[in-house]
Amino acid sequence: MTVLKKEHHDLLKKQLDERIEKLVGLFEKRELNRGSEGCSGHSSWVHPELMCATIGSDTEIRLAVDDFKTILAEIRKLK
C-alpha cells in the first residue's frame, strides 16, 4: 500500500488522466484520405476499405506514449 499526501495524489491522478486521454485521442482511427495513404512510392493498398489511419501522426503518438511512460514512471516510484 502506498501512502502519500492527498494533494500529491490528486496532481498525479490529474496528470495521468490528461495524458491517457491525449494518447487515446491521438490513437483514434479514421478513414484513409486516399487509397495510397501510408504507402511508399506509387503503391496503394489492395483493399483500402479494410485499412484505417490514426488521428495523430506517428510523431504525435510517439511523444504521447513517451509522455504517458513518464507519468507511469513517477507513479512507480511511489513507496
pLDDT in tens, 2-11: 899 999 999 9
Provide φ and ψ at 29, rounded to 5°.
Answer: -90, 155
Give pLDDT, residue 79. Answer: 79
- Cβ-count burial 15-32 (b if 16+ within 10 Å, e if not): beeebeebbeebeeeeeb
pLDDT tens profile 18-42:
999 999 999 999 999 999 999 888 8
Instruction: Kindly tell me if the per-residue pLDDT of 1 is higher than 90.
Output: no
**Helical H runs in the chain?**
6-26, 58-76
Grid cell locating 15: 496528470
Which of 17-31, 39-53, 59-73 comes out lowest in average pLDDT? 39-53
Residue 34 and residue 48: Cα distance in Å, rounded? 8
Give pLDDT, residue 42. Answer: 86
